[in-house]
Structure 1
Amino acid sequence: MIALRRTSFDTPCRVEVELSDEYCRANVVLADDYEIGPGDRVRVHGAPISVGFGERRVVERIATVERASTMERLWTKFAGHFEMTELYEVSFSDRTTV
């Protein structure tokens, strides 16, 4: 079936936030292992989570998942190829700056 418009649903999620000398990360894990595809959006509800240096917090929240329409998904995949070329414009040289 071809989706012509966005659909959305709410699901429980786990938010993991860590700030240390090894990590500066935030990760959202959706319940039931929902797979997120190109163009999909996930909005986590609740107050902002703050952690001090050297801390890690895990919080249970509710997230709204918006599934992209078929056209949005195709466009996101297409546009992503052009965004990827920015990564190729990096060069490494043996020159040293004084």
Structure 2
Amino acid sequence: MSPGLLSRLAGGRRFEVPCTIDIEQSFDSLHAHAIPEGVSLRPGDRVLVHGLPASIGHGEAMRFEARATVIRAGWLERAWMEASAILELTELYHCGFEPKEAP
């Protein structure tokens, strides 16, 4: 098997990109968003963000720039992620549509 074919199937290609980080811990919102710049993420890709604060205080919001490493998923991992996402979505169809049992 050629190295190019193996890398397309297995994935694992890594590269660094700039990343915008938005963190808030307040009464209105509790979130943390990492937005990699200049790259389109696909199913199964992983993003490792470098230089994040260990914690932020209640009522604080932070927005800053950092570096992130994107690890590309291979074809097999991407196909598995897409298939499992569809199967998990179908579980939502069963919620709330079953008739109530008579007492």
TM-score bracket, shorter-length normalisation: 0.7 to 0.9
Q: Which residue of 1 aligns with 2:100?
A: none
Task: State the Cα deviation string for residues 4-37 of structure 1 (Å, max 9, x = none).
Answer: 23211011111110111111000011122x1111
Unaligned runs of 5+ in 1: 93-98
1:27 aligns with 2:33: yes
- Is structure 2 residue 3 aligned with structure 1 residue 5? no
How many Å separate the matches in 1 of 2:52 and 2:32? 15
RMSD of equivalent CA atoms: 2.2
1 CA distance for matches of 2:53 and 2:30? 16
2:56 paired residue number = 51
Match of 2:71 in 1: 66
Q: Aligned partners of 1:87, 1:16: CA distance in 2, in Å?
A: 30
Are residues 47 and 26 of structure 1, via their aligned partners in 2, closer, same or farther at CA, if it must alter by over 3 Å? Answer: closer
From 37, 41, 45, the equivalent of 2:46 is 41
Q: TM-score under structure 2 normalisation? A: 0.75
- Structure 2 CA distance for partners of 1:65 and 1:31, relative to 1, 3 Å: same
Asked if 1:91 is matched to 2:96, the reply is yes
Secondary structure, counterpart of 1:4 in structure 2:
helix
Runs of 4+ in 1 over 3 A off after TM superposition: none
Shift of 1:49: 4.1
Name the CA distance, whole Å, in 2 between partners of 1:20 and 1:4: 43
Deviation by residue 1:61-89 (Cα, 9 ceiling, x = unmatched): 11110111111111110111122233334
Instruction: Give ranges in structure 2 of 5+ residues lacking alignment.
Output: 98-103
Normalised by the length of structure 1, the TM-score is 0.79
For the pair shown, which has the larger CA radius of gyration, 1 or 2? 2
Paired AA for residue 30 in structure 2: C
